[in-house]
Amino acid sequence: MWWPATLVQVSLFRALHEKSGDDEKGRTTRAKFFVIALACSFLWYVVPGYLFSTIATISWVCWAFPKSVKVQQIGSGMHGLGLGAFSLDWSTIAAFYGSPLTSPFFAIVNSLAGYLLIIYVAVPVAYWGFNLFGANKFPIFSSHLYTSRGEIYDITAIVNDKFELDPAKYAEQGRVHLSMFFALSYGFGFAAIAATLTHTVMFYGKEMYARFRASYNEKEDVHTRLMKQNYDDIPGWWFHSLLAVSIAVSLVLCTVLQDQVQMPWWGLIFASALAFVFTLPVSIITATTNVVSIYTPGLNIITEYAMGVILPGRPIANVCFKTYGYMSMGQAVSFLSDFKLGHYMKIPPRSMFLVQFIGTVLAGTINLVVAWWLLTSVKNICQDDLLPAGSPWTCPQDRVFFDASVIWGLVGPKRIFGSEGNYGSMNWFFLVGAVGPVLVWLAHRAFPGQGWIRLVNLPVVFGVSGMIPPATAINLNSWIVVGTVFNFFVFRYRKKWWQRYNYILSAALDAGVAFMAVVLYFSVGMEERSLDWWGNAGEHCDLAACPTARGVVTDGCPVF
């Protein structure tokens, strides 16, 4: 398993260390190409990042039909189906799904299949065809929570002073409703987590068993032998000690601060066990498809679902359980990817371990300090209804994280996806996800000559919706197009160029955007200097966020 994402870093390190004379046949060295591409990315980002932000979300269909709610719902890349929408901003293209240049084409095709299934089949049929769950009372795409009247749900009205659910106030406020996009993304997430388990067992079960036996019998491949011949391995007690200390400290916090974290000690043990069980199958999917662990595939949902059933009405407990059960798994997958990078670059394993440990401590501390500073210094941060159009401080991921704590923790799955909620039918997606890979495997066995069948990866097909929202159609449209151009057309017709420069280009684009983003923030962002003109006023699809049900009154929207 090659972990495609690591190849970008490998290519970059090789480019930075290759000899300056390595330009046989007049070719540009990779180091020079990296510098040129970085400079271009750096200079270009000032356009979508400050001068003309609308080109980050070009939804031309809305411009052609400025007064039609339905057409804008179809054409909006931020609040609708995104038909024809595209982006000229690399930070938008790679925002939620990583660089499309690093994903193998078969993974892009699987992502495209899942994208078409949810965006252009499931959502239109459910919203316009059957009006499922009264969907047209709400925007077609939104991460907000709503009342049955189409109004924004007042979360503070149903929380008591202990940050727990007040049943009486909840009964008064009524059930929580979701946009059609949001509801279906959870359904596809259910399918993704079930498909991950069955897909891994059906397609990689024998390989996992063989690798386990090889490890048990101390059979090693050539790369492992080379690493062991040159470097000391990491002692097992380093991992065991770190695990024991981490769990012990967390148990103390859960016990001493139980009123604050709301999660009992056994919840921590259960979350750790879930992370342990799912790390292997999720790692296999990530290592073979480059589907980044942040949305591979639905473990966040299963952790939220489990704790929501066990301890409903406790949102902080749900967030803590999700952190230990899901995010610890994501970190584990990330660390495994780093060790694979060390394998490729022949980095001493002990050095890699120490760098990971120190980096985690530093990053965790700095992230907390920066987050606290932003929350206290940026006016109206994360309040999208109070921020100007095109503001970078809408915090889409944090909004979804908060809404998830309400759905799964405060209100609880029983009141939303259970007998007391509107979305119980979403649970059937678990069955779809569990059965789907079995059918693909049977088809592969029945038609062994059709190699493309094995490339059908249902965890990716279903899991592509795992980041919708906060990801939107504009992100996926552009990601799929760019990925197809480079990993199909360029790979097929300019293979030598692709082999030499593709991953270098990916690294340069990322670096250029990152450097310019810092420059823009400290030069104009801190003092809130902005250019007020049409090109910085969002995507110009104001009606896309409107409901279409009769009698629903929403500010800025026509009443049908």
Q: Residue 460 pairs with which residues in a beta bridge?
A: none
Tokens of 264: 């009992």
Task: Return the closest-CA partner of residue 316 out of 265, 263, 251, 252.
Answer: 263
Terminal CA-CA length for the chain:
55
Contact partners, residue 70, CB within 8 Å, separation at least 6:
128, 548
Q: Can you give the pLDDT at residue 296?
A: 52
**The pLDDT of residue 335:** 87
Handedness of CA 166, 172, 176, 179 (dihedral sign): negative
Distance CA 316, CA 408 (A): 10
Q: For position 1, what pLDDT does the model report?
A: 67
Q: Are 460 and 110 in contact (CB under 8 A)?
A: yes
In Å, what is the CA distance from 45 to each residue of 42, 50, 471, 475, 481?
Answer: 6, 8, 20, 17, 20
Query: CB neighbours of 534 closer than 8 A, spacing ≥ 6?
Result: 54, 540
Q: Which of 143, 74, 49, 96 is nearest to 476 (CA)?
A: 96
pLDDT of residue 218: 53
283/333 Cα distance (integer angstroms)? 6
Neighbours of 351 (CB within 10 A): 12
Q: What is the pLDDT of residue 216?
A: 52
**Exposure string (b/e) for 494-530, b if CB count within 10 Å is 16 or more?**
eeeebebbbbbbbbbbbbbbeebbebbeeeebeeeee
pLDDT of residue 318: 87
What is the spatial distance between Cα 151 and Cα 396, in angstroms, rounded to a whole number?
19
Residue 17's Cα: distance from chain center in Å?
33
Residues 402 and 404: their CA atoms lie apart, in Å, by 5
Chain position carrying tokens 């059709």 = 450
The pTM of this model reads 0.83
Neighbour tally for 25: CB within 10 Å: 4
Beta carbons of 302 and 469 less than 8 angstroms apart: no
Tokens of 158: 């149903």
> What pLDDT score was predicted for residue 21?
54
Closest by Cα among 184, 120, 164 to 316: 164
For the chain, the structural domain boundaries read: 1-134+472-560, 142-469
Please tell me the distance from the alpha carbon of residue 385 to that of residue 382, in angstroms, as a whole number.
9
For residue 20, give the DSSP letter: T
> What pLDDT sits at residue 527?
73
pLDDT per residue rounded down to tens, the chain (560 residues): 667 778 777 877 877 776 655 455 667 888 889 999 999 999 999 999 889 989 999 999 999 998 899 999 999 988 999 999 999 999 999 888 888 998 888 889 998 999 999 999 999 999 999 999 888 999 999 888 898 888 888 888 888 888 888 888 888 888 899 999 889 988 998 898 888 888 888 887 776 666 666 555 555 666 677 777 788 888 889 999 999 999 999 999 888 888 888 888 899 999 999 888 888 877 777 777 666 544 455 567 888 888 888 888 888 888 889 888 888 888 888 888 888 888 888 888 899 899 999 999 998 899 899 888 888 888 888 887 777 766 777 787 787 888 888 888 888 888 888 888 889 899 999 999 999 999 999 998 888 888 888 888 888 888 887 778 888 899 999 999 999 999 999 999 999 899 889 988 998 999 999 999 989 888 887 777 778 888 888 888 889 888 888 888 788 788 87
